[in-house]
Amino acid sequence: ETGVTQTPRHLVMGMTNKKSLKCEQHLGHNAMYWYKQSAKKPLELMFVYNFKEQTENNSVPSRFSPECPNSSHLFLHLHTLQPEDSALYLCASSQAGDLGELFFGEGSRLTVL
């Protein structure tokens, strides 16, 4: 059982659609992350939030828009995506400032048609 829950687990969308990925953590952490995992590539850090404030945007295109309303919830809003954005999107959490252990959700597998 994971303390980080992601929904939906699978998403298929067209390039003109708008959708959102949701992440919720039940671990009392105050840092949350979005990572992208494409086939045969390393996990790519997208965004970091510490205490609800975005502390890192790793040059992510504006068609990906994160939102962190509180320390337990993180969203990734998607619009006008490209087929190359198809990937597994992983949410993670940790204690802020602690680079020890990241706790990942099971991921949202996105396919852009």
Partner 1 sequence: RKEVEQDPGPFNVPEGATVAFNCTYSNSASQSFFWYRQDCRKEPKLLMSVYSSGNEDGRFTAQLNRASQYISLLIRDSKLSDSATYLCVVNNPDTGRRALTFGSGTRLQVQP
Tell which positions 51-80 bind partner 1, by CB under 8 A. 55-56, 58
Tokens of 102: 């990241």
Tokens of 101: 């252990």
Task: Single out the residue of 1, 16, 41, 84 in contact with partner 1 (rule: CB under 8 A).
Answer: 41
According to DSSP, residue 41 is labeled S
Contact segment (CB under 8 A) with partner 1 among 12-20, 29-37, 63-71, 73-81 equals 29-37
Nearer residue to partner 1 within complex by CB, 15 or 54: 54
Counting contacts by CB under 8 A, is residue 107 touching partner 1?
Answer: yes
Counting contacts by CB under 8 A, is residue 111 touching partner 1?
Answer: no
> Minimum distance between the CB of residue 84 and partner 1, rounded to whole angstroms?
18
- Closest C-alpha to 55, from 77, 24, 27, 31: 31
Residue at token pair 């919830």: 73
Tokens of 107: 């991921």
Phi, psi of 104 (to 5 degrees): -100, 150
Binding site for partner 1 (CB under 8 A): 2, 31, 33, 35, 40-43, 45, 48, 50, 55-56, 58, 90, 97, 99-102, 104-107
